[in-house]
Amino acid sequence: MKISVITAVLNGEATLPEMLDSLAVQTHTDIEHIVQDGASQDGTIAVVKQKCVFQTRIASAPDSGIYQAINRGIQRATGDVVGLLHSDDVLADRDVLSEVATALADSDYDGIYGDIEYVSRSDPSRVIRRWRAGVYNTLALRRGWMPPHPTLYLRREVFERAGLYDTSYRISGDYDAVLRFLTSGQLRLAYLPRVMVRMKMGGVSNRSLGHMLRKSREDYRAIKRHRVGGIGTLVAKNVSKIGQFRPAAGDGH
């Protein structure tokens, strides 16, 4: 099974080496790495060329944002299965993609997802938040549930059937796409109960109060668009994150 791993990146020179190392050690070797660069002004392209191990296809051009970059990467992908791995993320261990391939050897599933850990940007060994996704059920969407997007691997035909990411979203295009896939697309997902990805804290969605407000507005738009609920769904989506945060070491808990 050929897996296309898409990296949408802009000026990722500082964090790319760790991500590329996590990809290089995968025990599954039928990997196509699609790097979609947004015309970086640092050494991003040089780092990718220096550390690439698998078949790597690099394209660099200005884009309107991350979702346009992802769409371009998907359109260039030739693998049976497509997943995302951005410059701030690492695969949790060397067997992640092997387990993805094994699970999707079952033709009953359109894709697979798992769990994710958010780690400190200054100390990646410190886990700040653990997101245990759990098994999907049809009522979950009304409670604000979604699979952790960085862990989602889908058969390439899913995008041909259900469409790409809506670039009118700046932050919540992944949530909109997942809701579309699971509602009108009737996607059948398998759950892999293990940490698949470790992500550094401090992404665009929580970078500032303005970004958080915009994300909430975009989330609500997606919720209404796909008819999975209303303001209660948005509230539940945000409240569900509280229990995922770990107390700091030495706080008595």
Question: How confident is the model over 202-240, as pLDDT tens digits?
Answer: 755 555 677 889 999 999 999 999 999 999 999 999 999
CA 183 – CA 187 distance, rounded (Å): 8
pTM, full prediction? 0.92
Any idea which fold 3-244 has?
Answer: Spore Coat Polysaccharide Biosynthesis Protein SpsA; Chain A (3.90.550)
Per the listing, tokens 């049976």 go with 80
The pLDDT of residue 250: 38
Other Cβ atoms within 10 Å of 184 Cβ, number: 12
The three-point CA angle 211-147-207 to 5° equals 15
CA 49, 80, 188, 224 torsion: positive or negative?
positive
Q: What sign does the CA torsion over 189, 55, 28, 78 have? A: positive
* Span 146-191, pLDDT tens digits: 999 999 999 999 999 999 999 999 999 999 999 999 999 889 999 9
3-class state of residue 174 by DSSP: helix
Strand-strand pairing, 111-119 and 153-155: antiparallel
How far apart, in whole angstroms, are the C-alpha atoms of residue 81 and residue 84? 11
Q: What is the pLDDT of residues 9-54, one digit of tens each?
A: 999 999 999 999 999 999 999 999 999 999 999 999 999 999 888 8
Per-residue tokens: 115: 């769990």
What stretch of H or E contains 99?
A: helix 96-103
Q: At 219, list the tokens.
A: 């989330």
Q: What residue segments make up the domains of the chain, in order of their start?
A: 3-244
Give residue 246's pLDDT band: very low, low, confident or very high (50, 70, 90). Answer: low
* CB neighbour list of residue 102: distance below 8 Å, 6 or more residues apart: none
pLDDT at 210: 77
- pLDDT at position 32 is 97
Q: How far is 116 from 130, CA to CA, in rounded Å? A: 6
What's residue 205's pLDDT?
52
The token pair at 75 is 């359109």
- Residue pair 89/83 in contact (Cβ under 8 Å)? The answer is no
